Chain A
Amino acid sequence: MAPVPPWVKKLRPAEPLGSQLLDAERAKSSIPVDKLTLFLYGQEFIDIKAKILKILQAEPLFDKSQNYFQGRVERWEKSLARAKRLRQLAVEHDWSLEDHNVAVDLIAEPIPYMLHGTMFLLTLFSQCSDEQGAKYFMRAMDYKIIGCYAQTELGHGSNVKGLETTATWNSDDKTFTIHSPTLTASKWWIGTLGRTANHAVVMAQLIVNGKNHGPHPFIVKIRDMKTHQPLENIHVGDVGPKIGYNTMDNGFLLFNNHKVPHEAMLAKFSSVDPETNQYVPPKSAAQVYGTMTWVRSTIVWQSGGYLARGVTIAVRYCAVRRQFKDEEAPDSQKGETQVLDYSMVAYRLLPLLAACYALHFTGKIMMDMYQQKQGLLTDSTSKQEQEFAIAELADLHATSCGLKSLASTTTADGLETSRRACGGHGYSSFSGIGDVSTNYLPNVTWEGDNYMLTQQVARYLIKTARSVMDGAPITNDTTKIFSYYQSRAEIGAAFDVLGSDTDLVAAFAWRSAYLSFDAMRQRDEAKKPWNDLLVDFYRLSKAHSQYFIVKNFYDTLVTEDPENALDDDTKGIMYLLFRLYALHTLESEANEFFTSSALTVHQITLCRATVMRLLKEIRPHAVTLVDAWDFPDFQLDSSLGRKDGDVYSDMFYRASELNPLNDLTADPYPDSPVIVKSRL
């Protein structure tokens, strides 16, 4: 870069400075930020984050200043270097899995080792027989082999049963032949596969004696351990640039009658007996179910934090950004108005701020429930206990599907809303929201497409409604709210949603039950085809998930947590957020609350006014409420979202001193074929 002349160096942003504005924001809110942070994360996590952050910031390789400028290939190479360094650090400092996850979160880009550390290890862990565990899992834990999880194909993702890759058992030499019969059988999208992995867990249709037993996992070496070249008859590569996730080498993989030994089939649940050449099927499907529930619950849990990154940036920036003088503003407000004070801006951002909290609490509860119910299953001694545990897991599974869909849609859309709320500067890469947003987008598709997934929720709720109709006893929350609804369906209910928080939760339960019974009738009485009901199912799943989130938010607040208790003031503000989330949701879905007779038109109109009031009440705390999420500047890598509010100097610094484009002088005239006149 050309040196910055002294007269430019001298310039300061116009007063009041961003730092002064944020100081004032922080001064006017009573919230003890540290306490709230503790309430969100717990001390252990906070300590880990501090420890890891220090280590990362000392490493030049994790300096992010050129991230936004580089092309795909460069960025990917650097990310591989980072992945390696991260692993070295993990060994050096003896990091736990959680330590490592925190580090990845702080680096805030998907690194090429990612799928090795997640799906590959997880699958080996849960699907290896004991011998396989010793051979593969331990080496994978030590990164001696690097793997990926290859399920999706060019032609099939959602419909796993439709995969085309085959693994055919050869009884003569006791091997499997892995083969891709068509182009659409090519594995596709597989993270870490493109350039990094030397092993893959491959899902393939198992064919034994001419009979297809459906998709099964195989561990396959795909690249030479020395030359890192694909083995013969294996064709593998990176799928190319994407809307986000470009530091990851999502890959493709094709097999041309590639033979693997008997031990390649991961045999914990099912196997082929090499003696008899017979297929040995699994005993129960509950375990696989469990992993999916866990992965989806994780998505729910993380969605709050991801959304909070965008909201933190937008709220801070909109508190610093001032535009126009509001002629009707009180005299105490001098000069231009902070754009966060425009109700149109607050209306877009503050409900999202409430959603961050709502999703985070629900995610936490999901993770706890998962542990607890999985525990029920492991501890079950009788068949009855086992059945109960499995029913509970089915309930949780349905809940996790609906929540995964709603939570990741909320976050993906919310990030874009946050970005747009920042006006022109939101469009700059230095806003920091663009990358978070595009890297987040696959969440709406993977682990079950958000629309498709809702069918599973509907199926479960319809089944439950049917059983409650038939007089099944109350066993869990779903049957409880359905039974209540059924007992009052003919009498009606009156919910005082503005006067009572429990009524507010109950109104959401009512709507969910109403829609469930309605769907059941459509199916059972009106005999509508499944396909014609998909849009209704989507709405039902959304309604049920919203109920769950509202309920969990409320439960989190009423449950006393003696360790991380909040003071009354802060508790009060959390209740405001709860009401904002619930009433804002209610207002946008008003029609369903009305048709289900949960609320009257007049109540709905009052809700709207209450939302406006809540926005005003929460506004003074907006900055402290995002501060509590405690994102280090290192993680956000954003000019707009800087904690100190020094937005403009940072924008200018990055543009004028870090920007490589300014090293070249263009020849601008069309008639000259020269493009670059000179380079610095």
Chain B
Amino acid sequence: MPDFTDSLKPQYDGQAILEAERNRSPIQVHELSKHLLSRNNFLERQSKIVSILQNDPLFSKRNQLNMSRPDRFHVGLARNKKLRRLAKQYAWDLEDYKMAEYLTDEMSPYHLQHGMFATSVFQQSSDEQRAEWLPAVRDFKVLGCYAQTELGHGSNVRGVEATATYDLKAQQWVLHSPTLTASKWWNGALGRVATHAVVIAQLQIPKKEGTGYDSHGPHQFLCRIRDEKTHQPLDGIVIGDIGPKYGYASMDNGYMLFDNFRIPHSALLCRYSKVDPKTGAFQRQGHPAIVYGTLTATRGAIILNARLVLARAVTIAIRYTSIRRQFQDRDAETSSQEVAVLDYPTVQIRLLPLLATSLALHYTGEAVSDHFKKSAAKIENGDFSALAEMHALSSGLKSLCTQYAADGIETCRRSMGGHGFHGASGLVGINSDYLSKPTVEGDNWMITQQVASYLIKKMDEVVTNTAGKSKDTVVGQFQSFLTAKKPFYTLFQGSEINAKEILNAFEWRSAYLSHEAYQARIVQKKSWTSLLIQLHKLSRAYSEMVLVTNFFNAIQSSNLSIETAKVIEQCFYLYALYTIDNDPRSFSTTGAVADASMDALPDHILDIMSQIRPHAVKLVDAWAIPDYLLNSALGRYDGKVYEDLFHRAHHENPLNKTTFNPHWEDEEIVLGSGDGGKILSKL
């Protein structure tokens, strides 16, 4: 319906503002995009897929935030099906399909099919089992989920309560849930969709003599859980969706209980453990380290994803805060135009370091992925020597990078003031979905113990044998640490920043804290639990060092045009110096940075930010995040912020289609409907 609002224009023209921002920076956006996003033809793939999705009404994201959970699930499943059909129609490969998932930007039931489910079927199956299952998995004839976590146990996988007891006579496994806490829980796609599950249960075999069982720990079993025709749970199984969550509305995370449910002997995925069907003899075989290999690869992907998530939030915030104007400058002589809020240092200090962080994550994500690719062949051939360091390293990075991204989204959201709170900010869905990441694939606090434990072990080796040769980079760092005195690096000469000294300072701090932890644990024999916080800090320091190092290496070998390279170098400084400034004590007490440099930090940071500021919009443009994915009035490429906010409120908001009865004496809710009192029946 046309009305007087149609002719209204915003006070400031966002489109013109962004144009001006783009005109004042010499950065070659396309060049930088290619530099950042060439892996696996990301850019071409993205534009190919986005053009298909954004024109399909089923994939329109409007109004998604108004939907109830069951409706979101409903749409999510419909979209999943459509994606599969599109994949067939356009002959998408797996990367294309993943791109489509990334662009639709919701976690939905089929997500696990190619992920956790297929991976574990592949990794844990014998060759015969692979031949039997994998084609059906690939063709979505078998729809699966990965049922490991239970109501009572998640982190501690060894503690799962579900049992799989071998029945020698029947040559079957009996799956059973002895308690309520043994219920499977959180397993994606299980709630309403999966026909099959990989179930993790305690494998137990009746003792040869007497009663009782020999327990062999958690193992994976693959079995059908729902009827092929009716899609109802099979007899002896209870399944359901666990209910609404902070995010993941369209995913049916499920629960599942077994009442002495029987599955065949062949259900045990037996690449690494075998049970003789007749004798029940249990036997382990092969080296499951390959599993760590995949874990590491997954973590490379997690970092690359964290980078894009953070980049998305930063894109929205940078564009909006360059358009948003609030207050005249206090020191300005005459009453000039209002100031773009991105020109306030208290806004910059929240956003620009995050912009730099997204680049830091990029270079490390690339390095980890490359590294993994290189060693993948070795691993295939049974050489696992490089794996330990990578695995340890990747736990620390998973923790730090997902925390950067999760916290970064919220920081960006808050930096936008009131409008950041609105659904049209585009940060509501991403925020609540991404907040699962600090917990899943290893709780961010818990897994930092793995890095720390690795570093302590290495330090112990180096202390015992100072001159030993090793391929591990940390060994070299530890060796030079042990022979040196506190260096107190000087980071600045006047206005010059010394990148190499920054790098040295990070390496020194990491080695110093490793040594401190080694002292506490190995020399003073302190209990592990009493050290957890110290270990967490160590993991962080180490991971920050890795990020700084990879960033540093990348700018050394950069082939970007001079002007762009210069700005990326500024981002390196910003990331590194801001990181120091955030935990200044650990740089001064370890003797990593000289006091004078510490004192000069804040001024340098302000200065670098003011140098990056004119390029901010183009830097985020380079992340090439399509409007379809941003789904944000505030972060639109064309800057039409206010027009879009208003359009969404005025034309798309279902609440405005109803007139309500506001008077408290009347029980009626919808005016004229006579629905008084009926709302109770909806409860």
For the complex of A and B, list the 4 residue pairs with the smallest distance between their C-beta atoms, beginning with the closest.
Answer: A71-B68, A670-B84, A241-B65, A87-B664
Quick check: is B670 within 8 A (CB to CB) of the other chain? yes
Contact of B326 with A667 in the complex, beta carbons under 8 Å: no
Residues of B within 8 A of A534 (CB): 344-346
Q: From residue B231, how far is it (CB to closest CB) to chain A in Å?
A: 5
Contacting residue for A652 out of B183, B244, B413, B658, CB 8 A: B183
Quick check: is B343 within 8 A (CB to CB) of the other chain? yes
Residues of B within 8 A of A80 (CB): 660, 662, 669
Contact of A670 with B85 in the complex, beta carbons under 8 Å: yes
Residues of A within 8 A of B665 (CB): 88
Interface residues of A in 455-493 (CB under 8 A from B): none
- In the bound complex, how far is the Cα of B232 from the Cα of A182, in angstroms? 57
- In the bound complex, how far is the Cα of B444 from the Cα of A382, in angstroms? 62
Q: From residue A67, how far is it (CB to closest CB) to chain B in Å?
A: 9
Q: Of all chain B residues, which has the CB nearest A77?
A: B669
Q: From residue B302, how far is it (CB to closest CB) to chain A in Å?
A: 17
Interface residues of B in 405-446 (CB under 8 A from A): 410, 413-414, 417-418, 420-425, 427-428, 431-432, 435-436, 438-440, 443-446
Would you list 5 pairs from A and B whose C-beta atoms are within 8 A, ordered by A residue?
A: A72-B66, A84-B667, A237-B653, A239-B653, A452-B346
Interface residues of B in 87-128 (CB under 8 A from A): 109-110
Residues of A within 8 A of B439 (CB): 420, 423-424, 426-427
- In the bound complex, how far is the Cα of B229 from the Cα of A672, in angstroms? 13
Quick check: is B494 within 8 A (CB to CB) of the other chain? no
Contact of A61 with B680 in the complex, beta carbons under 8 Å: yes
Contact of A240 with B5 in the complex, beta carbons under 8 Å: no
Quick check: is B161 within 8 A (CB to CB) of the other chain? yes
Q: Known contacts A235-B4, A243-B423; is A72 also within 8 Å of B655 by CB?
A: yes
Q: From residue B63, how far is it (CB to closest CB) to chain A in Å?
A: 8
Interface string of B517-556 (1 = CB under 8 A from A): 0000000000111111100100000000000000000000
- In the bound complex, how far is the Cα of B655 from the Cα of A70, in angstroms? 14
Q: Of all chain A residues, which has the CB nearest B65?
A: A241
Contacting residue for B670 out of A72, A77, A194, A648, CB 8 A: A77
Residues of B within 8 A of A535 (CB): 345-346, 349, 602, 606
Q: From residue A216, how far is it (CB to closest CB) to chain B in Å?
A: 20
- In the bound complex, how far is the Cα of B654 from the Cα of A336, in angstroms? 50
Contacting residue for A11 out of B179, B414, B427, B646, CB 8 A: B179
Interface residues of B in 183-216 (CB under 8 A from A): 183, 185-186, 191-195
Question: In the complex, given contacts A237-B653, A323-B153, A652-B180, what are 9 additional A-B residue pairs having Cβ atoms less than 8 angstroms apart?
Answer: A69-B244, A183-B9, A183-B646, A184-B642, A252-B646, A423-B443, A428-B243, A668-B231, A677-B230
Residues of A within 8 A of B231 (CB): 665-668, 677
Contacting residue for A241 out of B77, B155, B423, CB 8 A: B423
Quick check: is A74 within 8 A (CB to CB) of the other chain? yes
Q: Known contacts A164-B11, A183-B9; is A665 also within 8 Å of B232 by CB?
A: yes
Quick check: is B241 within 8 A (CB to CB) of the other chain? yes
Quick check: is B626 within 8 A (CB to CB) of the other chain? no
A-contacting 9-mer, from B251-259, B370-378, B506-514:
B251-259
Total A-B residue contacts, Cβ distance less than 8 Å: 423
B-contacting 9-mer, from A340-348, A549-557, A618-626:
A340-348
Contacting residue for A664 out of B192, B530, B645, B646, CB 8 A: B192
- In the bound complex, how far is the Cα of B530 from the Cα of A676, in angstroms? 52
Contacting residue for A659 out of B243, B527, B585, B655, CB 8 A: B243
- In the bound complex, how far is the Cα of B326 from the Cα of A183, in angstroms? 16
Interface string of A403-438 (1 = CB under 8 A from B): 000000000000010011001101111100010000
Q: Known contacts A424-B149, A449-B417, A668-B109; is A73 also within 8 Å of B655 by CB?
A: yes
Contact of B345 with A429 in the complex, beta carbons under 8 Å: no
B-contacting 9-mer, from A133-141, A149-157, A267-275, A502-510:
A149-157
Contacting residue for A159 out of B242, B246, B327, B345, CB 8 A: B327
Interface string of B656-682 (1 = CB under 8 A from A): 101111111111011100000001101
Quick check: is B80 within 8 A (CB to CB) of the other chain? yes
Residues of B within 8 A of A512 (CB): none
Residues of B within 8 A of A289 (CB): none
- In the bound complex, how far is the Cα of B245 from the Cα of A69, in angstroms? 9
- In the bound complex, how far is the Cα of B155 from the Cα of A658, in angstroms? 27
Contact of A162 with B246 in the complex, beta carbons under 8 Å: no
Interface string of A176-203 (1 = CB under 8 A from B): 0000101111101100001111100000
Q: From residue B353, how far is it (CB to closest CB) to chain A in Å?
A: 12
Quick check: is B12 within 8 A (CB to CB) of the other chain? yes
Contact of B428 with A243 in the complex, beta carbons under 8 Å: yes
Quick check: is B143 within 8 A (CB to CB) of the other chain? yes
How many A residues have CB within 8 A of the partner chain? Answer: 151
Q: From residue B470, how far is it (CB to closest CB) to chain A in Å?
A: 29
Contact of A13 with B181 in the complex, beta carbons under 8 Å: yes
Contact of A323 with B159 in the complex, beta carbons under 8 Å: yes
Contact of A182 with B664 in the complex, beta carbons under 8 Å: no
Q: Of all chain A residues, which has the CB nearest B338?
A: A162
Quick check: is A51 within 8 A (CB to CB) of the other chain? no
Interface residues of B in 272-328 (CB under 8 A from A): 325-327
Contacting residue for A344 out of B85, B427, B533, CB 8 A: B533
Quick check: is A531 within 8 A (CB to CB) of the other chain? yes
Q: From residue A9, how far is it (CB to closest CB) to chain B in Å?
A: 10
- In the bound complex, how far is the Cα of B421 from the Cα of A344, in angstroms? 31
Quick check: is A285 within 8 A (CB to CB) of the other chain? no
Interface residues of A in 311-354 (CB under 8 A from B): 322-324, 326-329, 336, 341-345, 347-348
Quick check: is A498 within 8 A (CB to CB) of the other chain? no
B-contacting 9-mer, from A40-48, A366-374, A440-448, A559-567:
A440-448
- In the bound complex, how far is the Cα of B221 from the Cα of A535, in angstroms? 56
Contacting residue for A669 out of B143, B151, B424, B533, CB 8 A: B143
Contacting residue for B12 out of A155, A249, A429, CB 8 A: A155
Residues of A within 8 A of B194 (CB): 668
Contacting residue for A71 out of B71, B152, B532, B669, CB 8 A: B71
Contact of B110 with A670 in the complex, beta carbons under 8 Å: yes
Residues of A within 8 A of B152 (CB): 13-14, 322, 648
Residues of A within 8 A of B438 (CB): 420
Contact of A146 with B151 in the complex, beta carbons under 8 Å: no
Residues of A within 8 A of B65 (CB): 72, 240-241
Quick check: is B67 within 8 A (CB to CB) of the other chain? yes
- In the bound complex, how far is the Cα of B4 from the Cα of A203, in angstroms? 21
- In the bound complex, how far is the Cα of B528 from the Cα of A61, in angstroms? 51
- In the bound complex, how far is the Cα of B598 from the Cα of A347, in angstroms? 27
Quick check: is A451 within 8 A (CB to CB) of the other chain? yes
Residues of B within 8 A of A256 (CB): 4
Contact of B154 with A416 in the complex, beta carbons under 8 Å: no
Interface string of A641-680 (1 = CB under 8 A from B): 0000000110110111011111011111111110111000
Quick check: is A605 within 8 A (CB to CB) of the other chain? yes
Contact of B664 with A143 in the complex, beta carbons under 8 Å: yes
Contact of B246 with A60 in the complex, beta carbons under 8 Å: no
Residues of B within 8 A of A452 (CB): 346
Residues of B within 8 A of A227 (CB): 659, 671
- In the bound complex, how far is the Cα of B658 from the Cα of A229, in angstroms? 10
Interface string of A87-100 (1 = CB under 8 A from B): 11000000000000
Q: Of all chain B residues, which has the CB nearest A341?
A: B529
Quick check: is A383 within 8 A (CB to CB) of the other chain? no
Contact of B78 with A183 in the complex, beta carbons under 8 Å: no
Q: Known contacts A241-B423, A242-B422, A324-B156; is A666 also within 8 Å of B77 by CB?
A: yes
Residues of B within 8 A of A50 (CB): none
Contact of B669 with A424 in the complex, beta carbons under 8 Å: no
Residues of B within 8 A of A344 (CB): 445-446, 532-533, 536
Contact of B422 with A328 in the complex, beta carbons under 8 Å: no
Contacting residue for B428 out of A241, A336, A416, A670, CB 8 A: A241
Quick check: is B584 within 8 A (CB to CB) of the other chain? yes
Contact of A155 with B10 in the complex, beta carbons under 8 Å: yes
Contact of A240 with B242 in the complex, beta carbons under 8 Å: no
Contact of A670 with B81 in the complex, beta carbons under 8 Å: yes
Contact of A324 with B159 in the complex, beta carbons under 8 Å: yes
Q: Known contacts A11-B180, A240-B423; is A655 also within 8 Å of B255 by CB?
A: yes
